Structure 1
Amino acid sequence: MLTHNLGYPRIGSQRQLKRACEDYWAGRSTLQQLLQAGSKLREENWKLQKEAGIDLIPSNDFSFYDQVLDMSLMVNAIPQRFHDVVIGRKNSEMDLYFAMARGFQKDGMDLTALEMTKWFDTNYHYLVPEFQKGQLFKLFSTKVIDEFNEAKQLGIKTKPVLIGPVSYLLLGKEKEQGFDRIDLIENLLPVYLEILNRLEKLGVEWVQFDEPFLALDLGEKERNAFTYVYQLIRTSFPKLKVLLATYFEGIGEESVLAASLPVCAIHLDLVRKPKQLSQMLSLIPEPISISLGVVDGRNIWINDLEASLKLIKEAAEKLGESRVMLAPSCSLLHVPCDLDLESDEKVLSSEIKKWMAFAKQKLGEVTLLQKLATEEQLDNIDFRRNQEAIASRKTSPLIHDNKVKARVGAVTSAMASRKSPFALRAEKQRELLNLPLYPTTTIGSFPQTKEVRSWRAKYKRGDLSKVQYDKLLRDETTGLIRWQEEIGLDVLVHGEYERNDMVEYFGEQLKGYTFSSNGWVQSYGSRCVKPPIVFGDVSRPNPMTVYWSSFAQSLTKVPVKGMLTGPVTILQWSFVRDDQPRSETALQIALAIRDEVQDLEKAGIKIIQIDEPAIREGLPLRKAEWQQYLAWSIRAFRISSCGVEDETQIHTHMCYSEFNDIIQNIAEMDADVITIECSRSQMELLDAFAKFKYPNGIGPGVYDIHSPRVPSQEEMVFLLKKAQAVIPDENLWVNPDCGLKTRHWPETREALIQMVAAAKALREPVLA
């Protein structure tokens, strides 16, 4: 049985890639230093996987920003506006690459970045390819070829990884009407064939094509495209071994199509959908192999070796061992690098740690399964330890809290409803808050400078006392409140200087959570998050945000928003226990947030924002399963938000989401105001709200905070006028796309001053 890996975390166990990129962007390092940092990370990852005993080690799974963006550069899907970044200038191909990712504001040029959205149902963001009718493609970047050569020179023969041509097109967006992007497949495929030709000449044996869309709902065009692509690849390269990788879902009704494709192996995600194995075994013809994704690439819990061995045995008995491959369920991009780095017992206890595995340990699980399956050593000491850990987790008193279970059982339908409908609430809120038309606000966080981060680090190390730390944060918060008043924002925030992360901060104060010291995963580009870990029943021992919100409100007569993260987002952006339904865990978190909302209201906070950017992200990939998910996720939000009086204005925030298919459910959340990402899509997301006639307040983001560029007042007015065409004046809010934590102060100051000016400019004709 061959073992293989679909992809390894690219950021480095100490976030080396983050620092290398940010140093380059800031001009603190050269292009050569950036490239050397990438080369070193790749070498470390390849050697680590070789030492772990992985037979087929991936290459081209590394990226300086995003693997979809890499593919766009590879096939020259470079929008026209970016061409001048390098033509006649001293900028490099890497500068072009980063301009597409982050925008470009230099040398008299002002370019908006590619749109960014979620990678299926994960918290990873990818850069959306832009396609034009009749678009032609050609080989531009040779990254996949170069990295195979790089590994080969180290004595490691890798399995290059490419996003499959069908999925690549489906990941993109048509930038003009009148065509379907899948129609570009005949123009795109020759570039893939050229890449394969070059790889084959270099001695490549296996190539992995990631085709996650094969596990989604497909139309006839997409099905035909899969057949066309893989038949032509097989005809053109009969000796090349193609591994077709699906993940995040079961192949389901596309099993017949998948089994008919002329590839050498098909990878199945048996963590997400273990029952699909039997169906595929009944369909798959000789000599195609099946790759069993039995080790969870999305979560941090140890593998149940006994359960995995049953699946492996089922496949081996049907196909024979030589046609069975073992792997994680998907790329290990979505889990932290190395559990061995978690040595602080105060952060992560040894009892909980023994239930966990990070990327490096998951490779060990794959190779251990290979050994157990082929040598039948069930008395193996590692197997025994694994089963003992699985059993101890099921019975540990750390996990179960009867009080929490009883409270969940007592939830009533009345707890999920506001006292009055929105129209009546809106009147009371307008009278109380007395806000102008097009009220301006921000999403919550403000730039966390090196000084702020250093205070937190010193406080955690004990170099600052709590009194000293709180004094520094109060001074920083006071300065921010005064600055927001000065520029004329209508609804203020306290800046969230006390928070490390919008989920981790709450997890630290909730019972049932634990943490890691180095459990970083990539969210987008250089942005890394350290998801908290839900290991047991969740409850809120004490108020979490009331002190800082109340302190900020005491400094001003302008309304200050209380800032919370919603239950579904806390769930989605954590590593969640897998021993009970996610809906049950979400409801536990919702009750904890409900308590916090009510305490904020009692403290005099009249506007409370409960961020839920992950509601759309959490949708099952198959539409048949949507309604069940939406029922419990929307209920969880309403449980958290509906325990307040009519006068209290509830906001929520969602970013990088397509709402068309679930706009009815978004409305059912019944937030008084929803703020959404809209700038990169040029307000396209508002179409769903306009067609539905969304009744509540909407704040479409007027500038992209994921890019360092500063939009002009005129640009924001233009976007607001597009919003005005579909949103009633009395319901339109003005705000950035998302929180400002990752931005720098100079660009933030300038952008927000322009934003306030844009809102005032919009008010003038109305007032006249």
Structure 2
Amino acid sequence: MATSVIGFPRIGENRELKFSTEKYFHNEITQKELFTRAAELRLKHWKLLQEAGVDYIPSNDFSFYDTTLDTALLFNIIPQKAAELKLSPLDKYFALARGYQGEKGDLKALPMKKWFNTNYHYLVPQFDKTTRIKLVGNKIFTEFKEALTAGIKTRPVLVGPYTLLNLSEFANGTKPEDFISQIIEAYTAVFSQLNQLGASWLQLDEPSLVKDMSPQDRALFNKIYTALLTKKGSLKVLLQTYFGDVRDNYTDLIKLDFDGLGLDFIEGRKTLELVKNGFPDEKVLFAGIVNGKNIWHNNYQQTLATVKQLPATKIVLSTSCSLLHVPFSVANENFSPEVKAHFSFAKEKIAELGELSSILDGQADKLLAKNQKLFTGNRIKSNKKLKEKIAGLTEEAFVRTPAFAQREVLQKKEFKLPLLPTTTIGSFPQTRVVKKMRARLKRHELDQKEYDIFIAGKINEWIKWQEDIGLDVLVHGEFERNDMVEYFGQNLSGYLFSKNGWVQSYGTRGVKPPIIWGDVTRQKPITIKWSKYAQEQTNKVVKGMLTGPVTILNWSFPREDISVRESTLQIALAIQDEVLDLEANGIRVIQIDEAALREKLPLRKSDWYSEYLDWAIPAFRLVHSQVKPETQIHTHMCYSEFTDIIPAIDNMDADVISFEASRSNLEILDELQAKNFQTEVGPGVYDIHSPRVPSVEEIKDAIRKILQKVPKQKVWVNPDCGLKTRGENETRASLENLTSATKEVRKELEDGEN
């Protein structure tokens, strides 16, 4: 049985792409050198897939930053201001991704949002009345020819037209329907060139089909593809979906002239049921049966049982989604053989496809028997006491008293903060020096005392600087922390940590998700030492900084032997212990970040509460339900769409919530106003994922916009995310402008009252 991979990790086995791209940003290598290194990496990955026996190898799944941005530029979907920048095509590309500020102009980066229910972020294409969609790029063709020259015939991958329109933003009264004829013509041009190059297949990714589809959505999809598929010539078109099922338009898909349908049998709860009701003999079913998002070894017996129920006559075994979302290889890890046997990263998942194919061909019974040993017996010993504690939780355990309105009055008296209090989200720049010192401690080149002196010095430096520029609520900077999830995981039982398990989050940013191996409990205090130290250095309030249970779960590789609800409640009880210890040690403001709250939100609204929000929101409330009324609880959320779950966020019952808002032009404010949001809010007034420094006037404009929608007594002023990845100079300049802008707006408000 043939095998297929939807996409492959592009950052490289050792993050080669990240380091090469960042060297280019710092003018340490030329554009030509960057292109050469990228081509070498692509060839390495194609050969790896070829040698593993994969029949359908993807190309054009590579990107210097983001494939949705690549697709937008391929089709000339570029804002007018960016088009006018006098930069090379590559630098213009990076300007759209990161923002640009220099002698050749000033450009804000495109909005950045979560890619469906993953921790990957995509750049949002922008349409307006000046947009003219047409094929102007050649990346998809260049990479196909590259592979062909190496003797590898790939299947080019491209974001499909429906998903491209569905994920984009439309300005000046434009709407997706306005661009149908243009987009059909542009994709037809792609078909034509691929036919000329001798391509056999084209993979069009349409993950937006797994979301709720209205009759208008179905009509748009059908109109595009009914016309487009008549233009494919000899090219075979694979319609690829992932992250769910296609229940809303499955009947449309099997009637349209697609040569193959790629369906997800891992997250697609109804996929098997849909297919069993009928699948055309003339189409190829690309069955996504190897999990592309988690790192546990595939249970062959369960997978084979699914495959054997498929009625299709032509079946290709595939990953459930791109392997972009898992690390490169377990071979790079130093887990014990007994532990390592349970894990499967990208390279191993390719081998799983081959083994499943061999078993189905009747050639590998021993492989099946070996695999089943992994799934017999108990992998870990369950914590009986913890299980009983969770079972005994009552409704009262999830409710904080008194109600928010009463707490708000008490806290304003307690803290006596000025109007529009200023703060940051938590972290300050993790410079090379900071990382070097942490690495030296890990290698035992420093003892703990020497390292502590260094950390204390950094905290002292940044506490004083925050006081000097006039921030109202300070942070200690998190210099001792490697990652907002890994740091906590390292101080909790039940976690394992990879050495090289990097996964791309956006652009050159990688994360190394910890692995939840067993039951999670807190063994000792985690953040008390440095939070208490920082508070002792100033008379101003210093926030205690924690990561919330839902984010810890969502940014880890979760267990598959218990429910995510139970696993999250285990983490919530552990973080609750930390919250109460911070409070007992004099920390009066505690921020519990839930940056990834939306990440595992089901893509269909009908499943939001029954499958997620009904336990995710209570898990957050459990963490802070026992603190005193005067203790102020903050939380933070970033780079996702929150406008449709505002009531649920308000129900988290925090005292202050900060949002990413700058890249989305503060659109969330309208929804806060419409839903009568009660919690105090800090919509981000500038984008921290860009190196550009916002001016005082720019920040003042953002604050004024916020005040048009939110009562001034409820507004906080802050950046839109932590500052860990930024440089020191741009961080200082940006925050100095933030405090200056806030002071000027306060003066405007005072003058207005007088």
Kept in 2, the 8 Å contact 1:594–1:641? The answer is yes
Distance 1:240 1:277 in 2: 28
Amino acid at match of 1:319: A
Q: CA deviation at 1:431?
A: 1.4
The range that moved more, 601-610 or 475-484, is 475-484
Q: Which residue of 2 aligns with 1:354?
A: 341
Distance 1:216 1:679 in 2: 26
- SS at the partner of 1:562? strand
Distance 1:197 1:150 in 2: 18
- SS at the partner of 2:182? helix
Q: CA deviation at 1:383?
A: 2.1
1:324 pairs with one of 303, 315, 325:
315
Q: Which residue of 1 aligns with 2:143?
A: 147
Q: Which residue of 1 aligns with 2:19?
A: 19
- SS at the partner of 2:591? strand
2:352 pairs with one of 365, 368, 375:
365
Q: CA deviation at 1:273?
A: 2.5
Distance 1:518 1:591 in 2: 29
Kept in 1, the 8 Å contact 2:522–2:574? The answer is yes
Superposed CA RMSD in Å reads 1.3
Distance 2:234 2:73 in 1: 27
1:421 paired to 2:414: no
1:512 paired to 2:494: yes
Kept in 2, the 8 Å contact 1:546–1:603? The answer is yes
User: Superposed, which structure 2 residues align to 1:227-626 within 5 Å?
Assistant: 227-273=222-268, 275-315=270-310, 318-320=311-313, 323-343=314-334, 348-374=335-361, 376-377=362-363, 379-380=365-366, 382-392=367-377, 395-398=378-381, 400-626=382-608
Q: CA deviation at 1:434?
A: 1.4
Distance 2:444 2:726 in 1: 28
User: Superposed, which structure 2 residues align to 1:131-210 within 5 Å?
Assistant: 131-133=127-129, 135-177=131-173, 179-210=174-205
User: Superposed, which structure 2 residues align to 1:703-742 within 5 Å?
Assistant: 703-742=686-725
Kept in 1, the 8 Å contact 2:239–2:260? The answer is yes
Amino acid at match of 2:374: A
Kept in 1, the 8 Å contact 2:358–2:364? The answer is no
Kept in 1, the 8 Å contact 2:120–2:506? The answer is yes
1:640 pairs with one of 612, 623, 626:
623
Distance 1:108 1:558 in 2: 42
Distance 2:296 2:379 in 1: 15
Q: Deviations over 1:586-643 (max 9, x none)?
A: 1111111111100000000000000111112221001110112111110000001211
Distance 2:196 2:215 in 1: 35
Distance 1:60 1:649 in 2: 48
Q: Which residue of 1 aligns with 2:82?
A: 82
Q: Which residue of 1 aligns with 2:68?
A: 68
Q: Deviations over 1:194-240 (max 9, x none)?
A: 11111111110011110111222112232123223333333222421
Amino acid at match of 1:587: L
Over the matched positions of the two proteins, sequence identity in percent amounts to: 47
1:753 pairs with one of 701, 711, 736:
736
Q: Which residue of 2 aligns with 1:7?
A: 7
Give the number of equivalent residue pairs.
Answer: 750
Kept in 2, the 8 Å contact 1:312–1:373? The answer is no
TM-score by length of 1: 0.96
Amino acid at match of 2:266: V
The range that moved more, 6-15 or 232-241, is 232-241
Distance 1:108 1:197 in 2: 37
Q: CA deviation at 1:97?
A: 0.3
Q: CA deviation at 1:133?
A: 4.0
Amino acid at match of 1:451: V
- SS at the partner of 1:146? helix
Kept in 2, the 8 Å contact 1:135–1:187? The answer is no
Distance 2:124 2:588 in 1: 38
Distance 1:603 1:616 in 2: 32
- SS at the partner of 1:252? coil
Distance 1:192 1:752 in 2: 45
Kept in 2, the 8 Å contact 1:182–1:221? The answer is no
- SS at the partner of 1:617? coil
Distance 1:114 1:49 in 2: 33
The range that moved more, 414-423 or 491-500, is 414-423
Q: Deviations over 1:130-179 (max 9, x none)?
A: 111473211122100000000001110000001110111101011223x4
Q: Where does the alignment leave 5 or more consecutive residues of structure 2 unmatched?
A: none
Q: CA deviation at 1:252?
A: 1.7
Q: Deviations over 1:311-336 (max 9, x none)?
A: 22222xx333xx00101100000000
Distance 1:662 1:741 in 2: 28
Q: Which residue of 2 aligns with 1:218?
A: 213
Amino acid at match of 1:336: P
Q: CA deviation at 1:110?
A: 1.2
Q: CA deviation at 1:384?
A: 2.1
Kept in 2, the 8 Å contact 1:166–1:185? The answer is no
Distance 1:736 1:229 in 2: 40
- SS at the partner of 1:725? helix
Amino acid at match of 2:697: E
Amino acid at match of 2:359: L
- SS at the partner of 1:184? helix
The range that moved more, 674-683 or 110-119, is 674-683
- SS at the partner of 2:595? coil
Q: CA deviation at 1:696?
A: 1.8
Q: CA deviation at 1:338?
A: 0.8
Q: CA deviation at 1:435?
A: 0.8
Distance 2:66 2:177 in 1: 22
Kept in 1, the 8 Å contact 2:244–2:269? The answer is no
Distance 1:108 1:324 in 2: 53
Amino acid at match of 1:412: T
The range that moved more, 268-277 or 433-442, is 268-277
Q: Deviations over 1:28-82 (max 9, x none)?
A: 1111111111111101110000011100100000000001000010000000010
Q: Deviations over 1:81-132 (max 9, x none)?
A: 101223xxxx311001001001110115111110000000101000001111
Kept in 2, the 8 Å contact 1:659–1:688? The answer is no
Distance 2:10 2:35 in 1: 14
Distance 1:21 1:156 in 2: 26
- SS at the partner of 1:195? helix
Q: Deviations over 1:641-694 (max 9, x none)?
A: 211000000000011232222111111111100001111122111111011121
- SS at the partner of 2:374? helix
Kept in 1, the 8 Å contact 2:355–2:364? The answer is no
Distance 1:624 1:221 in 2: 18
Distance 1:281 1:238 in 2: 30
- SS at the partner of 2:681? strand
| Deviant stretches of 4+, over 3 Å | none
- SS at the partner of 1:390? coil
Q: Deviations over 1:721-744 (max 9, x none)?
A: 000011111111000000000000
Distance 1:757 1:528 in 2: 33
1:123 pairs with one of 100, 104, 119:
119
